[in-house]
């Protein structure tokens, strides 16, 4: 079980680190690849990106270093909440193709949270 958790944590963490970094530090690239970014302020997109980036780091670093490993399931829960909000956001905008990925990421984050508590 520990190996499965590490695989999911690593993949999920890297995905959120890369996606968050793009939203936080490459606003123009995010505008080009994510249609919703054009409709919202740079500050909001940067906030979402930083939240995802920190959540991704929180999935990996505490458990890997053994320093406050309780932060790993907390980060997983926080990212699960972000994915619930993202699914609602995309549903409101009628961007149904994005909801499937939100649900998959939500399920993986819940798996990590339960497995690490």
The pLDDT value given to residue 96? 87
Give me the domain span that covers residue 58.
2-116
pTM: 0.91
Torsion-angle region of 34 (φ positive above 0: left; ψ -120 to 50: alpha; else: beta): beta
Indicate the SS3 state at residue 1: coil
Question: Where is pLDDT greater, at 105 or 28?
Answer: 105
> What would the mean pLDDT of 59-73 be, rounded to a whole number?
95
Using CA atoms, how far residue 53 sits from 56, 91, 99, in Å, is 5, 23, 20
> pLDDT tier at 97 (50, 70, 90 boundaries)?
confident
| Number of structural domains in the chain | 1
> What would the mean pLDDT of 96-102 be, rounded to a whole number?
89
User: Nearest-CA neighbor of 114 among 72, 60, 82?
Assistant: 72
């Amino acid at each position: 079980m520990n190996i499965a958790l590490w695989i999911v944590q690593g993949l999920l963490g890297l995905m959120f680190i890369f996606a968050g970094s793009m939203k936080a530090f490459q606003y123009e690239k995010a505008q080009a690849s994510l249609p919703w970014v054009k409709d919202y302020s740079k500050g909001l997109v940067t906030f979402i990106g930083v939240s995802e980036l920190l959540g991704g780091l929180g999935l990996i670093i505490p458990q890997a270093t053994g320093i406050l490993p309780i932060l790993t399931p907390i980060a997983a829960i926080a990212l699960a909440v972000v994915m619930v909000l993202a699914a609602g956001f995309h549903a409101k905008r009628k961007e149904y193709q994005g909801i499937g990925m939100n649900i998959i990421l939500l399920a993986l984050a819940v798996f990590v949270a339960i497995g690490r508590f």
